């Protein structure tokens, strides 16, 4: 078969069909407590969900579905719980044979193989509206390191590259993916944290060819390094971690230009919240063709963020959902990432020719903006707002507008509702406010009862009907 990034549509489809079958039937359905219960509640058998078509029928789920009361403990239900006897039933042939042979030779070897494949050994923190741990087994880390070797190919890096990372400290999926990528590719990587003085000191010792920076603060950091005359002559690539907005990328390019580093490639990389694979722009594209994904390790789809189902409105925004293939630990099926995208392109990349799906126009975490409310800084999950309002019998139509107050600039969440015929407007206002608070943890600043045709229309769409009249600030 062709290399992972050159396969035909038919080859990819056959390979993914088999991978989805194995993942659902032999990992997620039997061993994930959340999905075992969920399939049962939906009345679906594991076999019915274990194909690309069956998977597409499953409602997408996100952090609020798994942790409905806002308690991160619910995320433990996503972690596969595998016993030795269950493993024998579900492990694939070669792994099982190896385990059985080892058992003959050493008494505890069988357990060691089961644990290597399934037991969580490392955790990172994830989440937009709440923080929850994501578990990886040793086999997952191995998968991530192998995907990392591909990441290096996409980015046009080699083992001769030297990476200095200024990502914030703490266990994050981005830091983990970058570190395992360097390991898989055989590149040295030094993670120094986000302190600019520490970064400058490291760069004086280590001639980095690659600098990994959080996209939100990258331009300021480059500027400071240039002003401090930190030696950057070896630098040929800047990685913007977290999918930059266009203006953030432009500012980085401009800061590099002022430092005489015009030849430096500026490429975006991104791990969606809850996921563990780092998507990247290919070097050939210089950022013009979107983030490249890994078709044999994940299924990437888009849904309408108001309903969690396949996009219906042509003008509505689209949320990315991912299904992981071959992962153990926390195993995700149709996971809602909170990232809004223009689309997922399946054709070959016009720049590098790779036949991998590409995610275009990604706004990371856009569905869960961080708000500066009078009561403090809170993230507001627009999906939860929509969930509290979609399909209500007492509401005919609605809009939610997030905008800074003209009075003191604090963010306000104003709900506009058109009550259904016969519904009491005052009761509708009270009920919708209470339901939004229950679904998101944030009480709307105001509920405005409107007539049909009086709903506001201006503002950037977070979802079809949740509008923002403010600069996007994301909770990642
Ligand atoms: Zn490409």
What whole-number distance in Å separates Cα of residue 63 and Cα of residue 387? Answer: 13
The structure's pTM equals 0.91
3-state secondary structure of 394: coil
- Cα–ligand 1 centroid distance for 358 (angstroms): 8
Q: Where are the domains of the chain?
A: 9-122, 132-360, 370-468
Q: Which of 100-109, 207-216, 218-227, 459-468 has the lowest mean pLDDT?
A: 100-109
What whole-number distance in Å separates Cα of residue 418 and Cα of residue 398? Answer: 6
Express each pLDDT in 303-342 by its tens digit. 999 988 887 666 778 999 999 999 988 989 999 999 999 9
- Cα–ligand 1 centroid distance for 47 (angstroms): 35
What whole-number distance in Å separates Cα of residue 347 and Cα of residue 77? Answer: 36
> Quick one: how many helices (H) and strands (E) in the chain?
16, 21
More confident call, 470 vs 220: 220
- Cα–ligand 1 centroid distance for 282 (angstroms): 4
- Cα–ligand 1 centroid distance for 241 (angstroms): 18
- Cα–ligand 1 centroid distance for 294 (angstroms): 12
- Cα–ligand 1 centroid distance for 293 (angstroms): 10
Residue 92 pLDDT > 80, yes or no?
A: no
Alpha carbon separation from 384 to 52, 176, 379 (Å, rounded): 27, 29, 11
Beta strand ranges found along 150-283 (DSSP E): 163-165, 189-191, 210-214, 237-241, 265-270, 279-280
According to CATH, the superfamily of the domain at 370-468 is ANL, C-terminal domain (3.30.300.30)
Q: Which of 33-37, 126-130, 244-248 has the lowest mean pLDDT?
A: 126-130
- Cα–ligand 1 centroid distance for 348 (angstroms): 8
Express each pLDDT in 189-205 by its tens digit. 999 999 999 999 999 99
Give the whole-number percent of the chain exceeding pLDDT 90: 72
Per-residue pLDDT, averaged over 138-153, amounts to 95
Name the class of domain 132-360.
alpha beta
Express each pLDDT in 47-63 by its tens digit. 999 999 999 999 999 98
- Cα–ligand 1 centroid distance for 351 (angstroms): 5
- Cα–ligand 1 centroid distance for 150 (angstroms): 12
Distance of CA 464 to the CA centre of its chain: 21
pLDDT score at 85: 67
- Cα–ligand 1 centroid distance for 155 (angstroms): 9
Q: What is the mean pLDDT of the chain?
A: 91
- Cα–ligand 1 centroid distance for 216 (angstroms): 24
Express each pLDDT in 236-280 by its tens digit. 999 999 989 999 999 999 999 999 999 999 999 999 999 999 999
What whole-number distance in Å separates Cα of residue 202 and Cα of residue 365? Answer: 31
- Cα–ligand 1 centroid distance for 280 (angstroms): 9
Bridge partners (DSSP) of residue 213 are 240
């Amino acid at each position: 078969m062709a290399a992972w990034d050159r396969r035909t549509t038919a080859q990819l489809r056959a390979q993914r069909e088999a991978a989805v079958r194995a993942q659902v039937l032999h990992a997620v359905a039997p061993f994930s407590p959340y999905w075992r219960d969920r399939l049962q509640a939906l009345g679906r058998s594991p076999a019915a969900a274990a194909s690309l078509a069956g998977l597409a029928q499953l409602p997408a789920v996100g952090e609020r579905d798994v942790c409905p009361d806002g308690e991160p403990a619910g995320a433990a239900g996503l972690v596969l719980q595998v016993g030795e006897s269950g493993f024998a039933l579900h492990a694939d042939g070669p792994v099982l044979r190896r385990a059985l042979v080892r058992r003959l030779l050493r008494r505890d070897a069988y357990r060691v193989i089961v644990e290597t494949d399934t037991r969580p050994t490392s955790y990172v923190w994830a989440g937009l509206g709440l923080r929850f741990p994501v578990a990886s087994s040793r086999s997952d880390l191995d998968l991530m390191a192998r995907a990392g070797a591909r990441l290096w190919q996409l980015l046009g890096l080699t083992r001769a590259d030297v990476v200095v990372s200024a990502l914030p400290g703490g266990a994050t999926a981005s830091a983990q993916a970058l570190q395992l990528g360097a390991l898989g590719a055989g590149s040295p990587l030094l993670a120094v944290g986000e302190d600019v003085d520490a970064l400058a000191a490291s760069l004086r010792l280590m001639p980095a060819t690659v600098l990994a920076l959080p996209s939100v603060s990258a331009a300021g950091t480059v500027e400071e390094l240039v002003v401090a005359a930190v030696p950057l002559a070896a630098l040929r690539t800047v990685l913007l971690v977290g999918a930059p907005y266009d203006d953030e990328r432009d500012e980085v390019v401009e800061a590099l230009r002022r430092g005489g580093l015009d030849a430096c490639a500026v490429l975006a990389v991104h791990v969606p919240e809850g996921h563990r694979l780092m998507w990247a722009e290919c070097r050939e594209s210089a950022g013009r063709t979107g983030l490249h994904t890994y078709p044999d390790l994940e299924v990437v789809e888009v849904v309408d963020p108001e309903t969690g189902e396949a996009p219906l409105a042509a003008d509505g925004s689209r949320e990315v959902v991912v299904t992981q293939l071959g992962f153990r630990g926390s195993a995700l099926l149709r996971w809602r990432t909170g990232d809004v995208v223009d689309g997922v392109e399946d054709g070959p990349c016009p720049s590098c020719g790779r036949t991998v799906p590409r995610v275009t126009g990604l706004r990371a975490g856009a569905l869960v903006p961080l708000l500066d409310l009078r009561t403090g800084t809170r993230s507001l999950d627009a999906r939860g707002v929509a969930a509290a309002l979609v399909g209500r019998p007492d509401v005919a139509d609605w809009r939610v507008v997030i905008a800074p107050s003209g009075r003191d600039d604090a963010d306000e969440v104003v709900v506009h509702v058109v009550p259904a015929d016969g519904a009491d407007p005052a009761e509708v206002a009270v009920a919708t406010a209470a339901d939004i608070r229950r679904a998101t943890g944030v009480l709307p600043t105001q509920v405005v009862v409107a007539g049909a045709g009086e709903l506001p229309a201006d503002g950037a769409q977070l979802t079809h009907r949740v509008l923002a009249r403010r600069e996007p600030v994301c909770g990642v």
